[in-house]
Amino acid sequence: MGKYDGFLKHDRELPNSRPPEVRIGDFKEIFEPFPEEKTKTQAARCMDCGVPFCHSGCPLGNIIPEFNEAVHDENWKDAASILYSTNNFPEFTGRICPAPCEASCVLGINKPPVAIEHIEKSIAEKAHELGYIKATPPKQRTGKKVAVIGSGPAGLAAADQLNQAGHWVTVYERDPAIGGLLRYGIPDFKLEKWVVDRRIQIMDEEGVRFKVNAEVGKSINPDMLKDDFDSIVVCTGSTVPRNLPIPGRALKGIHYAMDFLSLQNKELAGIKFEDKISAEGKNVVVIGGGDTGSDCIGTSHRQGAASVLQLELMPKPQSKRGENDPWPMWPMTLRTSSSHEEGGERKWSTLTKAFIGNDKDELTHIKLVDLEWVSEGGRQQMKEIEGTERLIPCELALLAIGFTQPESSLLEHLGVSQTQSGIIDSTDYSTSVKSIFAAGDARRGQSLVVWAISEGREAAREVDKFLMGSTELPSKNDSF
Ligand code: FAD
């Protein structure tokens, strides 16, 4: 690295985000431009450790010190080639990854870690701008055909790798556009959809075939796929939402977070539908403290909610570095997202006991109680605090308490076994059916985009081995 003492000279610096009161007026990404010179300086903070824990902290095994060095040297071509050698879609992860690599950065022990996620996004965007990322169809075709079911990051990564290995790949997606949760889950203020479109366009030019409005098990017969393709990769996500079956659940005004978010994303995409779930003028309560909950908060602000309250059952995590720690110490953290900066209130250790409605069966209030967490028999148990039960006004409640498993009907039709918890029973990405493989949230349970890409890449290797007897596709384990 050109400047070995960069971490002593420079502080961590990230692009500014647009002021909250401005950005809630639109759904555009929140960051302002950042001068290239500053990105180079940020790359110089990398200590190029002997044992780069960032590298193993990344589910893709991204070779981080090497691309930092190339950025510092202004060698964007090498930086891109290093980054894309382990990650098919850094333009996605550079925007929305919670960056486990940064949590593993050795500099992070006593200083804010290297801004790896920002550097990754900068490399990806610079590589596109300079024309380094263009369609490169495989030189030879194997004649083998693979069907990928589901077009989220796992399905796209599997399709990209298998296509590069020379197989003919067709991706089946039941939604009207490709991208899975990148398209209809994650809001535009985190990931604008032109970024997804740009990637799909390249994959299309490289020979991947995309079929939308194609639900396998409904409009597409799974037996046809079994007959027509040499292998199938199931990447259908973890789509069954966790319910909150408490009194009043059937009232009007209580929705799953994904129903709310996907309608907003569809509206922005110009898709017409009836019965939008709108937060406008309403007291919104988001139940659940994770990423999905944060996305509901940001979307509610932008739709003009009267108030937004987020409830979390668990106690407020304590930061090692105090209340005002700007650094999200993933995973057990005081994680604040950009949506939290935009307003609203957040409560921990709070139990939702009932939904209350009027005589038209419309939600009007939520009954809450505060909790204390006590250690009993080595386990944390929740106890209601007497006298804290209360009603708060609420006309829109959004359930963002996670997803339990993939939908079973397709798996049953394909004969693919599920574990007791409902995810696909799969070792090494294979399933109970010889020619069928699995990747992403459907196999691993609800997770992250970076894990979905990693799973798609690893599954592609297994499919390639199954089809050809051996594989030259890379694995994250190669680089350790
Ligand atoms: P998905 O992205 O869920 O894609 C599965 C696809 O399969 C869907 O398009 C679905 O329509 C399709 N499908 C299902 N059944 C069929 C069928 N029978 N026929 C055809 N198609 C079918 N992770 C992060 O890293 N950062 C974030 O900021 C982040 N934010 C999130 C916000 C929300 C609201 C949610 C819900 C998740 C978020 N995640 C985030 C998690 C991340 O999006 C997922 O882990 C990731 O998308 C999983 O990828 P996947 O390809 O396995 O599944």
For all residues of the chain together, what is the average pLDDT? 94
Helices (H), 308-407: 338-341
284-288, 289-293, 319-323: which has the minimum mean pLDDT?
Answer: 319-323
Share of the chain above pLDDT 90, in %: 89
How many Å lie between the centroid of ligand 1 and the Cα of residue 36? Answer: 32
| DSSP letters for 102-167 | HHT-GGGGTSPPP-HHHHHHHHHHHHHHTT-S-----SS--S-EEEEE--SHHHHHHHHHHHHTT-
pLDDT at 3: 62
- Residue 47: partners with Cβ closer than 8 Å, 6 or more residues away: 1, 4, 7, 106, 107
How many Å lie between the centroid of ligand 1 and the Cα of residue 314? Answer: 25
Question: How much is the ipTM here?
Answer: 0.99
Specify whether the CB–CB gap between 238 and 403 falls below 8 A.
yes
The C-alpha angle 470, 471, 474, rounded to 5 degrees, equals: 150
Residue whose CA is closest, atom 8 of ligand 1?
180
Q: Which atom of ligand 1 is nearest to the CA of 456?
A: 51
Are β-strands 345-347 and 350-357 bridged in parallel, bridged antiparallel, or unpaired? unpaired
| Residue 406 Cβ < 6 Å to ligand 1 | no
pLDDT at 324: 46
Give 252's DSSP letter.
Answer: B
Q: Is the pLDDT of residue 91 over 60?
A: yes
Q: Is the pLDDT of residue 327 over 50?
A: no
Per-residue pLDDT reduced to its tens digit, 343-399: 999 999 999 999 999 999 999 999 999 999 998 888 889 999 999 999 999 999 999
pLDDT at 378: 85
How many Å lie between the centroid of ligand 1 and the Cα of residue 236? Answer: 8
- pLDDT band at 330, cuts 50/70/90? very low
How many Å lie between the centroid of ligand 1 and the Cα of residue 150? Answer: 9
The sign of the dihedral angle between the CA atoms of 312, 419, 154, 454 is positive
| DSSP letters for 294-316 | HHHHHHHHHHT-SEEEEE-SSPP
- Residue 369: partners with Cβ closer than 8 Å, 6 or more residues away: 350, 351, 353, 384, 385, 388, 389, 390
Q: Is the pLDDT of residue 336 over 80?
A: no
| Residue 452 Cβ < 6 Å to ligand 1 | yes
Q: Could you give the CA distance from residue 410 to residue 219 in angstroms, rounded to a whole number?
A: 12
Per-residue pLDDT reduced to its tens digit, 452-474: 999 999 999 999 999 999 999 99
Q: Could you give the CA distance from residue 333 to residue 329 in angstroms, rounded to a whole number?
A: 5
CA atoms within 13 A on the CB side of 359: 0
pLDDT at 334: 53
pLDDT at 320: 54
pLDDT at 337: 87
The whole model's pTM is what? 0.96
Per-residue pLDDT reduced to its tens digit, 185-226: 999 999 999 999 999 999 999 999 999 999 999 999 999 999
What tokens does 9 get? 């000279």
How many Å lie between the centroid of ligand 1 and the Cα of residue 32? Answer: 27
Q: Is the pLDDT of residue 328 over 50?
A: no
The residue type of 129 is E
How many Å lie between the centroid of ligand 1 and the Cα of residue 77? Answer: 31
| Residue 172 Cβ < 6 Å to ligand 1 | yes
Q: Ligand 1 pocket test: which of 102, 261, 339, 449 has the largest number of ligand atoms within 8 Å of its C-beta? A: 449
Share of the chain above pLDDT 70, in %: 95
| Residue 298 Cβ < 6 Å to ligand 1 | no
pLDDT at 350: 97
pLDDT at 376: 86
What tokens does 235 get? 């990447």
Q: Which atom of ligand 1 is nearest to the CA of 153?
A: 51
Domains of the chain as residue ranges with CATH: 6-129 (1.10.1060.10), 145-239+404-479 (3.50.50.60), 243-401 (3.50.50.60)
How many Å lie between the centroid of ligand 1 and the Cα of residue 196? Answer: 13
Q: Which one, of 259, 257, 312, 303, lies nearest residue 283 by Cα?
A: 303
- pLDDT band at 434, cuts 50/70/90? very high
Name 41's bridge partners.
none
